[in-house]
Chains A and B, each alone.
Chain A
């Protein structure tokens, strides 16, 4: 009967109880929606880094990574690539010759870039470079060596389509080589750093001057499903223990940190919301208890044990939390679904967002387990906040309580 009394007590002051339930709902909705917006931003950044840039896994010679030097190739790269492609978990894989820290010059300006020598058809499947072209062609329409560069870099170099560039680098034989390319295509990326710092040329063009002695110094692998990452990485490492097989987590540690710390700092934010919520609940429940001082005194006078009085106040809060938390989660789910489709347009801040790798249109999204966790946290916070009012209720002395009007 104690839960029944508590349930009926909840509805003694409908407006107040509804306000408490609503404050729980709105608090959780706000926290969840913020979490979804944050995740939407990072999911896009993660998606950009994996699909446009580093892929899931890359293979290099150890010294390539240690010295950041493109002259260290992957011996028997073709054989390794064929082996990788036979794995059904691999969506696409490609070879590259990568030259980090190369100077690219136009007639007007110069910039430090990474030059990626790619196989255009394979690259299309791995990074979708073709789909990001905003102007020009995809390595066609010229007899010269073609180059595709970011639109922002082109602007920086003051170069147009069909313009000529020269790159200079040391080849594997330690000879300084200068190669001329004609810009045939411009691409756009949501990541400014990528767009301003990476140019694409044909691998075969670079290979002629690099004299690597092997077809590539990088193999990039895109998986069908992220969850296979560790298993495929282990398998590839086992095939080529002499090479360094790294996932995007090692290749882009700053992004890994962001993803790993996402839950932590969003939970901190939700914790702050819940703390504010708890103060509200403590205040309301305390008021509800103090209003019923006489009644609580009577209950203890006629023989209701303190633990039951305590449980009654706790039940009242649990009921309000159980009404408020699912309502908040429903609100959050609906709003995330709706806004997730339409997106939040922050085009006005596009330049700033892009420099951090964020898209200008954010699509909030959240995994199902977060809804349950946040709802659980909300209910737990409500229960915790009821402890003090419940304790106050049982500390009353019946005689003093009965004297209250």
Chain B
């Protein structure tokens, strides 16, 4: 059996809400294979973002393990985890979170700069990525000169710039209008199909859920349904 890109074993995150512990994520076992286009859904507070944060190495589990390509990332130091994220994980955030003082091209190049990619190569790749998300004419625009949809497409290009093993997208369409949402889903589906890039979404958005090929439903920090579609 092929090693999954993402695997969680008994993943648990408990917060000490004063004296009453809150189990945000409660013993989740999940396997995500290479090339999946998976949505994690569920009501607010069900643990979607907490699960995503732990998979992305942004938060530490109280118990259980996160394995990326079979490697347990739980023992890494904070600095090692930053480096790990840089090279293995792409992030798309709800609020775009681009660097406001950099242009679209610079935002995409920045991740490669952190990786130590040479200037010519990162310029070329950043242009290719921005072209692939349909923003070739916006290379020199700063985030405040772009629409929400355009900013999120830059964020997708940035997430792919580091050649990650998978992309984590937490509510990527929450701030977008209907048209931009469709464009973004089309874009990510295309990248998934063409490049076999693994996407894992946390979302409420039915339009995203409708396009996902696998839907994992959480309730009270547990998986209550795991549906694969043709």
Are B97 and A294 neighbours in the complex by a CB distance under 8 Å?
A: yes
Are B93 and A303 neighbours in the complex by a CB distance under 8 Å?
A: no
Is A156 positioned at the interface, with any CB of B under 8 Å from its CB?
no
Alpha-carbon separation in the docked complex, A298 to B115 (Å): 16
Binds A, one of B28-36, B100-108, B128-136, B192-200: B100-108
Are B82 and A304 neighbours in the complex by a CB distance under 8 Å?
A: yes
Q: If A398-B58, A399-B53, A399-B58 touch, does A302 touch B101 (CB 8 Å cutoff)? A: no
Alpha-carbon separation in the docked complex, A308 to B97 (Å): 18
Nearest to A5 among chain B residues (CB) is B101
Binds A, one of B4-12, B65-73, B84-92, B181-189: B84-92
Alpha-carbon separation in the docked complex, A295 to B95 (Å): 10
Alpha-carbon separation in the docked complex, A308 to B78 (Å): 14
Is B59 positioned at the interface, with any CB of A under 8 Å from its CB?
yes
Contact of B79 among A294, A298, A305, A397 (CB under 8 A): A305
> What bracket does the count of chain A residues touching chain B fall in?
20 to 34
Is A402 positioned at the interface, with any CB of B under 8 Å from its CB?
yes
Q: If A303-B162, A399-B58 touch, does A308 touch B114 (CB 8 Å cutoff)? A: yes
Alpha-carbon separation in the docked complex, A12 to B142 (Å): 13
Are B58 and A303 neighbours in the complex by a CB distance under 8 Å?
A: no
Is B146 positioned at the interface, with any CB of A under 8 Å from its CB?
no
Nearest to A292 among chain B residues (CB) is B100
Is B113 positioned at the interface, with any CB of A under 8 Å from its CB?
yes
Is A9 positioned at the interface, with any CB of B under 8 Å from its CB?
yes
Contact of A302 among B59, B78, B91 (CB under 8 A): B91
A395 nearest CB across to chain B (Å): 10
Alpha-carbon separation in the docked complex, A32 to B4 (Å): 67
Contact of A5 among B78, B91, B95, B102 (CB under 8 A): B102
Q: If A8-B102, A305-B79 touch, does A298 touch B114 (CB 8 Å cutoff)? A: no
Nearest to A2 among chain B residues (CB) is B113
> In this complex, which of A8, A294, A302 has the most chain B Cβ atoms within 10 angstroms of its Cβ?
A302
Is B165 positioned at the interface, with any CB of A under 8 Å from its CB?
no
Are B101 and A298 neighbours in the complex by a CB distance under 8 Å?
A: no
Contact indicator per residue, chain A 264-279, by CB within 8 Å of chain B (1) or not (0) = 0000000000000000
Alpha-carbon separation in the docked complex, A296 to B106 (Å): 17
Is B99 positioned at the interface, with any CB of A under 8 Å from its CB?
yes
Contact indicator per residue, chain B 106-131, by CB within 8 Å of chain A (1) or not (0) = 10011101110000000000000000
Is A301 positioned at the interface, with any CB of B under 8 Å from its CB?
yes
Alpha-carbon separation in the docked complex, A398 to B86 (Å): 13
By a CB distance below 8 angstroms, the chain B residues around A298 are 91, 93, 97
Is A1 positioned at the interface, with any CB of B under 8 Å from its CB?
yes
Contact of A1 among B56, B79, B93, B113 (CB under 8 A): B113
21 A-B pairs whose Cβ atoms sit less than 8 Å apart in the complex: A1-B109, A5-B101, A8-B101, A9-B101, A12-B100, A294-B97, A301-B56, A302-B111, A303-B83, A303-B85, A303-B87, A303-B111, A303-B114, A303-B162, A304-B86, A305-B79, A305-B83, A306-B79, A308-B114, A397-B58, A402-B97
Binding site for A on B (CB under 8 A): 53, 56, 58-59, 78-79, 82-83, 85-87, 91, 93, 95, 97, 99-102, 106, 109-111, 113-115, 158, 162
Closest 3 CB pairs of A and B: A303-B86, A8-B101, A298-B97
